[in-house]
Structure 1
Amino acid sequence: MDHKHLDKVTPAGLLVALGIIYGDIGTSPLYVMSAVFGDKPITQAVVLGALSCVFWTLTLQTTLKYVTLILRADNRGEGGIFALYTLVRKHARWLTIPAIIGGAALLADGIITPPISVASAVEGLEIRYPEIEHYLIYIIIAILTLLFLIQALGTKIVGRSFGPMMFVWFGMLGFFGIMWISKDWTVLRALSPYYAWEMLTKEPGGFWLLGAVFLCTTGAEALYSDMGHCGRGNIRVSWIFVKACLILQYFGQGVWLLSHQGEFLRGRKPIYEMMPEWFLLPGITIATLAAIIASQALISGSFTLISEAIRLNFWPKVRLRYPSDERGQLYVSSVNWLLWAGCVGVVLYFRESGNMEAAYGLAITGTMLMTTMLMAYYLYTHRYNFYTVVLFLVVYMGIELSFLVANLLKFTHGGWVSLLIGAMIAGVMIIWLRSFNIKARLTEYVKLSEYTEPLKELSRDMSIPKYATHLIFMSNASRVSEIESKIIYSIFQKRPKRADIYWFVHVDTVDEPYTMEYKVNVIAPDDVIKVTFKLGFRVEQRINLYFRRVIEDMVRNKEVDITSRYESLNKQNVIGDFRFVVLEKFLSFENDLPFWERMTMQAYFFIKGFTTSEDRWFGLDSSAVKIEKVPLIIRPAQNFDLKRVTS
């Protein structure tokens, strides 16, 4: 994507941005100030200090770091921590560590955010309907299920549906905020960072309130991840409106809190207390819908992360689907239902939003820290002023480490859940990357030219039964001159496979989204041919269909004769059969691996058993595919004593 298109601003784009990006950060007024006070009395120092912290957090963390700086670091229009990693990975191998930690933490947050958002929304109905309490958990699970069901429609349709609703929500926040601020303009003194410093340094336990303040910016990382869905220009322009409404609402809540100094909230939510009695039910309804929409940002961001993780060999190959023609709009069925299962598990375990708050926000601080490290390296490698890079690193590492320490207070109260989920996801990524490197180290390639004559001789050896007229092997060899030794082993040794023409097909996934190109290299006319497909990352892999088009083009150009070479069939111009062979590796019993490598490969093959098979990934017709198991011999066992004895 060129930057002109990325920075383009359209009414439809702004609406989609409101619908799928700001749900998480936009519903924070529901619970931030309530979380700040908890069971403590309302005091002027904490109200002004908390408001000051919220304002400067949204300004420094969301506006300056993400909207202004990090949105510049796009990878062909795509955002997110993995997109940032691809821009710097060639400079240092250790950058893989923050990329995996940050990506896993963000995916873990995608499992925590929907339950707490939906639960907070539904529980708001208890104000008017106390008897609904016993049915809440069933309503929450039903809403979550519906939310994940509609993901298959695509974020374009979802965003246009949710956008108008979020516009109403933010308008409501801004309206009631300015209405209450007009009652006491002195609350605006909290814009000064002095009050934040006073609260953090002089109030008893003031520093630990950062854990609650941090909830106001938890959606910032999802904002970056969803850049490919909406475009940088639409995000930056819409954020002006969103931030203004959020600040007005927070300061309006501050006025209400200052008018109730010395009191305890005891479950009351300032956002609802600010509404007139006649508007309470419509207000709760709008808030409920907005809180449900809050889940969307993390879900769509998770799809983007997974698609990038697959290309980086961090995640198993799972099928990606693109429901619309808009760039970045994708749907990953397996991840969608994995997130759904995790969300339902969180609801069943915690049961109430108040219990979920402890698990919320802890993981995302880890993601923000990792993004800061990668962004600092990005600025350094793109020749920004050295002192500017150091200032960026020191300021944001200091801010985010403070948030992390404050959030660690939540660990024993449920924060361990999000960290456990993140650790499991990171474990899968590490296993997949390490196993990929082990297999790459192991795979042996041979010169195809050395086997051209033997292949021609095998093709004409009538003493061997013909295996297929056209035999097609899927190959990982990107070089035209090379082929895997395992393919040669399959043709000549495992079971001699005689065919009229041997085809070797390689698929290269490129960074451009819609590329559909192929190149044909005729190694031996009418005997050995290699085809290389270059497909964009958004192009569905339907190799069976694409290969058929290649054959049609070659026949039209008289480059190949595909009629059967059986004399009787040739006279009738009967086309020969086509058969694909996909080699599927398994861990050989002959291996003598170090303990950790053996565990890694065993875990890899265990996970692989639950993922998309190679033939389905390539979109091959199952009736014309042969899956052939080949041993992956990583290190043959050699040190053993085997003695021959005579009777």
Structure 2
Amino acid sequence: MSSHHKDLQKLTAAGLLISLGIIYGDIGTSPLYVFKAIIGEGNRIREDVVLGGVSLIFWTLTLQTTIKYVIITLQADNKGEGGIFSLFSLVRRRAKWLIVPAILGGCALLADGIITPPITISSAIEGLHAKYPNVPTMQVVMIIIAGLFFIQQFGTSLVGKAFGPIMFLWFTMMGVLGIMYIVQMPSIIKALNPYYAVHLLTSVNHVVAFSVLGAVFLCTTGAEALYSDLGHCGRSNIRVSWIYVKTCLILNYLGQAVWLMQRSGQEINLNIQNPFYQIMPPGFLIFGIGIATVAAVIASQALISGSYTLISEAVRLNLWPKVKINYPSEQKGQLYVPSINWIMCAGCIGVVWLFKESAKMEAAYGLSITVAMLMTTILVSKFLKRRKVPTYLIWLFLAVYFLVEGIFLYGNLKKFVDGGWFTLSIGLLLFGVMWSWHTARRIRNRYVKFVEVEDYYEILKELSDDDSVPKYASQLVYLTSANFNSELESKIIYSILQKQPKRADVYWLVHVDVMDEPYTRDYEVDFLVPNKVIRIDFKLGFRVEQQINLLFRKVVEDLVKKGEVDITSKYTSLNKRKIVGDFRFVVIEKVLSRSHSLSFYERVIMVVYNQLKKVSISEERGFGLDLSFVTVEKVPLMLADPESVEINRVV
């Protein structure tokens, strides 16, 4: 971990400012649309709905964001890193089935990344309707979204430095605007009493109650980001900055509530008279819309960057096809995934085109993130068990949050027909990709045969010294999936001895182990046959780029310096001049042959996997190998035992 990164983990003014800039965009822009969703289009403003709405918002932010995420979930840091896959890496050895909530949660967060930019940017731009009713906001939103995704490829570190001060200005502005209305009706503070929340939910029919809950949930949709960005900001900075953020949010919601209470009994057009913009002084409106738009773009940027990180972790954990990942700047954590960028861009523009205005997008928003929160609850309970927290407290945690999030899930399911189907469909599609890739790998591994490498020491040594066999390479490197030093895939032995016998001075076996820690970068060397067969085990964190070409070269250089290995060419003319021998990597691609030994479900999984394989990058590119030194050999995985096949010879 760099010293700069360690500094961010401490409580500092810079750390607090960075926290404001990259964590709270989503949750910080929710006042743009939450009260619009609670009141509902075409409904009269009712005092009990306004007071109950504020009360529900306050207690949702307290229970869901403050207690669950800021106090409890932030404890689950994986060597300083957070996020659902970091959490999964911490607890995955406790039970195999935990892969299901991890994948579900990851897919839900990715689906959320497609709906958040359209709703936040639309809500900000629609503020122009108050002054310019005929402005084509839909087209403006599409242009902003397209521009936002276009600049991702150049890196966002320069713009990112301005995020903190802008978001500080945004939250301060919201707090001040709220206070300006609270002083007009100080009694609005009583709305923080949970009585008004309970009264609202019990005094209306259950359809209205769950509709209100689905709208209220929008106030906490960015809570997952608090945990996901733990590694960028540190626990202390997040906890302290949240106090300021929550205060400003509540003040703004109370200010909007006063404006609504002053119009109790009236029916207003919320698209034109959004309470968020109505509490702004008329002369301040354009500036307010401007900063709201910038805040919405920052919120979208945080979701986009978070999606890249999520995909890169999924690739390392073998939950997603290998895709090209670029590193546009030297800044830690800055990465760009072209395929995901353009898929998300198309998805976001599709959302704007499909729903047209933020009021209709609200129906699609919330459902996926509720699922992500429920999955985090399951994984956190396993983390608490690992921490040896008393069992009764873990059950209390599960009971409270299954109840709270279950109610919110039910409330959001009511919006399924109006738009919830969209994010659910996106989430299920992503789940299909992740689950198929993960399951196919398990099916393939089931048919990989391993042999005792010790049985082949003598023949490998003899082959290496056999001048009658043309030399294939001075240093021959194989990537192996065998977890134990004593084993090796039978296909590698087949490749060396039978598929064009490959004579080499030294045979290297390279194994990559993805560790539960995020930034581990260790290796072990085992001299199976001194100067003939050498195995290197890389232990890389799930956030470390697998540049095996560079890492392997560095290890070999260290071994040469220490005199543990000699890589000088054995060719007489080159040896006397101490010229280093050539290196060649061999990547064995296992191809699944057709067989009836797979079940129907497994055959479907393999069909999906084979289609995904076509769009993913190759194994050698995925491992960062120099393609000019790589040989790819395709070998079939025999699913049927040849001895079980009967055939008659005709004389």
User: Could you state the TM-score of these two structures normalised by the residue count of structure 2?
Assistant: 0.93
Q: Note closer, same or farther for the CA distance 1:269–1:447 as it changes in structure 2 (3 Å cut).
A: same
Instruction: Give the C-alpha shift of residue 480 in structure 1.
Output: 2.5
Aligned to 2:258: 255
Q: Distance in 1 between matches of 2:521 and 2:371?
A: 38
Aligned to 1:23: 25
Q: Is residue 2:93 matched to residue 1:90?
A: yes
Contact residue 17 and residue 159 of structure 1 kept, 8 A: no
Instruction: Give the C-alpha shift of residue 257 in structure 1.
Output: 0.6
Aligned to 2:69: 66
One-letter amino acid of the counterpart of residue 229, structure 1? H
The residue matched to 2:308 in structure 1 has which SS?
Answer: helix
Aligned to 2:592: 587
Aligned to 1:422: 427
Q: Is residue 2:389 matched to residue 1:384?
A: yes
Deviates more, 1:238-247 or 1:81-90: 81-90
Instruction: Give the C-alpha shift of residue 29 in structure 1.
Output: 0.9
Q: Is residue 2:185 matched to residue 1:206?
A: no
Cα distance per residue 1:584-609 (max 9 Å; x no partner): 12111356321111221222222122
Q: Is residue 2:606 matched to residue 1:601?
A: yes
One-letter amino acid of the counterpart of residue 93, structure 2? K
Q: Distance in 2 between matches of 1:591 and 1:556?
A: 53
One-letter amino acid of the counterpart of residue 602, structure 1? V
Aligned to 1:496: 501
Instruction: Give the C-alpha shift of residue 540 in structure 1.
Output: 3.1
Q: State the Cα RMSD in Å.
A: 2.5
Aligned to 2:363: 358
Q: Structure 2: 5+ residue runs without aligned partners?
A: none
Deviates more, 1:26-35 or 1:311-320: 311-320
Q: Note closer, same or farther for the CA distance 1:597–1:79 as it changes in structure 2 (3 Å cut).
A: same
Matches within 5 A, 1:157-236: 157-204=158-205, 205-236=208-239
Instruction: Give the C-alpha shift of residue 238 in structure 1.
Output: 0.9
Contact residue 37 and residue 265 of structure 1 kept, 8 A: no
Instruction: Give the C-alpha shift of residue 131 in structure 1.
Output: 4.1
Q: Is residue 2:488 matched to residue 1:483?
A: yes
Deviates more, 1:537-546 or 1:290-299: 537-546
Q: Is residue 2:625 matched to residue 1:620?
A: yes
Q: Distance in 2 between matches of 1:509 and 1:93?
A: 16
- Determine which of 428, 451, 455 is the counterpart of 2:456: 451
One-letter amino acid of the counterpart of residue 638, structure 2? I
Q: Distance in 2 between matches of 1:145 and 1:478?
A: 45
Q: Distance in 1 between matches of 2:332 and 2:566?
A: 40
The residue matched to 1:541 in structure 2 has which SS?
Answer: coil
Instruction: Give the C-alpha shift of residue 640 in structure 1.
Output: 6.5
Q: Distance in 1 between matches of 2:597 and 2:389?
A: 49
- Determine which of 36, 46, 67 is the counterpart of 2:49: 46
Q: Distance in 1 between matches of 2:283 and 2:138?
A: 28
Aligned to 1:146: 147
Q: Note closer, same or farther for the CA distance 1:229–1:146 as it changes in structure 2 (3 Å cut).
A: farther
Q: Distance in 2 between matches of 1:495 and 1:367?
A: 51
Q: Is residue 2:99 matched to residue 1:105?
A: no
Instruction: Give the C-alpha shift of residue 25 in structure 1.
Output: 0.8
Q: Distance in 1 between matches of 2:642 and 2:117?
A: 50
The residue matched to 2:363 in structure 1 has which SS?
Answer: helix
Contact residue 210 and residue 414 of structure 2 kept, 8 A: no
Q: Distance in 2 between matches of 1:111 and 1:397?
A: 26
Contact residue 57 and residue 216 of structure 2 kept, 8 A: yes
One-letter amino acid of the counterpart of residue 147, structure 1? L
Contact residue 476 and residue 507 of structure 2 kept, 8 A: yes
Contact residue 256 and residue 270 of structure 1 kept, 8 A: yes
Instruction: Give the C-alpha shift of residue 62 in structure 1.
Output: 0.9
Deviates more, 1:78-87 or 1:216-225: 78-87
Q: Note closer, same or farther for the CA distance 1:487–1:83 as it changes in structure 2 (3 Å cut).
A: same
Instruction: Give the C-alpha shift of residue 352 in structure 1.
Output: 2.5
Contact residue 513 and residue 538 of structure 1 kept, 8 A: yes
Q: Distance in 1 between matches of 2:320 and 2:122?
A: 30
Aligned to 2:11: 9
- Determine which of 101, 113, 117 is the counterpart of 1:114: 117
Q: Distance in 2 between matches of 1:574 and 1:314?
A: 43
Instruction: Give the C-alpha shift of residue 115 in structure 1.
Output: 1.4
Q: Note closer, same or farther for the CA distance 1:642–1:289 as it changes in structure 2 (3 Å cut).
A: same
Q: Is residue 2:36 matched to residue 1:34?
A: yes
Q: Note closer, same or farther for the CA distance 1:513–1:192 as it changes in structure 2 (3 Å cut).
A: closer
One-letter amino acid of the counterpart of residue 15, structure 1? L
Instruction: Give the C-alpha shift of residue 170 in structure 1.
Output: 0.8
Contact residue 121 and residue 292 of structure 1 kept, 8 A: no
The residue matched to 1:619 in structure 2 has which SS?
Answer: coil
Contact residue 49 and residue 196 of structure 1 kept, 8 A: yes
Aligned length: 644
Q: Distance in 2 between matches of 1:272 and 1:637?
A: 74
Aligned to 2:347: 342
Q: Note closer, same or farther for the CA distance 1:365–1:101 as it changes in structure 2 (3 Å cut).
A: same
Aligned to 2:131: 128
Instruction: Give the C-alpha shift of residue 320 in structure 1.
Output: 4.4
Contact residue 210 and residue 403 of structure 1 kept, 8 A: yes
Aligned to 1:308: 313
Instruction: Give the C-alpha shift of residue 551 in structure 1.
Output: 3.5
The residue matched to 1:494 in structure 2 has which SS?
Answer: coil
The residue matched to 2:237 in structure 1 has which SS?
Answer: helix
Matches within 5 A, 1:627-642: 627-636=632-641, 642=647
Q: Distance in 2 between matches of 1:632 and 1:591?
A: 13
- Determine which of 399, 406, 410 is the counterpart of 2:411: 406
Contact residue 583 and residue 630 of structure 1 kept, 8 A: yes
Q: Is residue 2:48 matched to residue 1:81?
A: no
Aligned to 2:241: 238
Cα distance per residue 1:285-323 (max 9 Å; x no partner): 111211222213322322332233334332223354555
Q: Distance in 2 between matches of 1:64 and 1:498?
A: 63
Cα distance per residue 1:271-298 (max 9 Å; x no partner): 1111121111111111121122221332
Q: Distance in 2 between matches of 1:638 and 1:130?
A: 78
One-letter amino acid of the counterpart of residue 142, structure 1? I
Contact residue 317 and residue 542 of structure 2 kept, 8 A: no
Q: Note closer, same or farther for the CA distance 1:427–1:309 as it changes in structure 2 (3 Å cut).
A: same
Aligned to 2:539: 534
One-letter amino acid of the counterpart of residue 20, structure 1? I
Cα distance per residue 1:168-209 (max 9 Å; x no partner): 111111011001000011111111111111111113423421
Deviates more, 1:619-628 or 1:352-361: 352-361
Instruction: Give the C-alpha shift of residue 98 in structure 1.
Output: 1.9
Q: Distance in 1 between matches of 2:518 and 2:408?
A: 37
Cα distance per residue 1:91-139 (max 9 Å; x no partner): 2233222222222111111111111112222222233334431xx4443
Q: Note closer, same or farther for the CA distance 1:407–1:425 as it changes in structure 2 (3 Å cut).
A: same
Matches within 5 A, 1:487-566: 487-566=492-571
One-letter amino acid of the counterpart of residue 619, structure 1? G
Q: Note closer, same or farther for the CA distance 1:514–1:108 as it changes in structure 2 (3 Å cut).
A: closer
Deviates more, 1:240-249 or 1:268-277: 268-277
Instruction: Give the C-alpha shift of residue 18 in structure 1.
Output: 1.2
The residue matched to 1:506 in structure 2 has which SS?
Answer: strand
Deviates more, 1:575-584 or 1:330-339: 330-339
The residue matched to 2:319 in structure 1 has which SS?
Answer: coil
Q: Distance in 2 between matches of 1:131 and 1:20?
A: 34
Cα distance per residue 1:484-510 (max 9 Å; x no partner): 111101111222112222222223344
Contact residue 53 and residue 193 of structure 1 kept, 8 A: yes
